[in-house]
Homo-oligomer: A and B are copies of this chain.
Amino acid sequence: MSEFQPRDPGYARRVRDSFERQKIMGLLGASLARVEPGVVAIELPFREDLTQQHGYFHAGIVGTIADSAGGYAGYTLMPEGSSVLSVEYHMHLLAPADGTRLIATGSVLRSGRTLTVCTLEVAIEKDGRSSRCAFGTQTLICLVDRPDGPKPA
């Protein structure tokens, strides 16, 4: 059970709708694996066009799904009608992201009215085993007067 109580009972729908609007997730092939109050996970199967020079997942792609996982973890606890932006994120690459699937989990560490801080953990699966390949932190800001979705034309 989560230690957090979402203010908006429709938080999961709100997160899933916003995730759909992140076109980059479709390009990469990422999907939501878990949406709970204060915790969101995103998974990403290996593809050769996601790699760096050694043939592993690129560190920036590890960071991309981690940043979204943390952003949506924070967003589960934000009010209806708000949107979320990353203020900063920081990734430690602990081991080569060498495997068949990445799973990034964002977890809220501190939830405030304006700022939220998350931890970002990334696991890589290979030969049926999962191991941590990256860890980081992130600061988010809640925009209360800015609905999620594209700006009006």
Contacts and interface: CB of A to CB of B under 8 A. Distances in A.
A139 B92 contact: yes
Nearest to A141: B115
Contact of A53 (B61, B94, B117, B148): B148
Contact of A50 (B19, B24, B114): B24
A61 B63 CA distance: 9
Interface string A123-153: 0000000001001110101000000111100
Contacts of A114: 114, 141
Interface string A2-32: 0000000000000000110111101100000
A44 to B, nearest CB: 11
B93 A54 contact: no
Interface residues on A, range: 35 or more
Nearest to A119: B135
A60 interface: yes
Contact of A51 (B24, B52, B137): B24
A74 to B, nearest CB: 13
A54 B152 CA distance: 10
Contact of A137 (B54, B90, B150): B90
Contacts of A150: 53-55
10 contacts: A22-B51, A23-B50, A27-B27, A59-B86, A85-B96, A88-B88, A88-B92, A88-B93, A95-B110, A136-B137
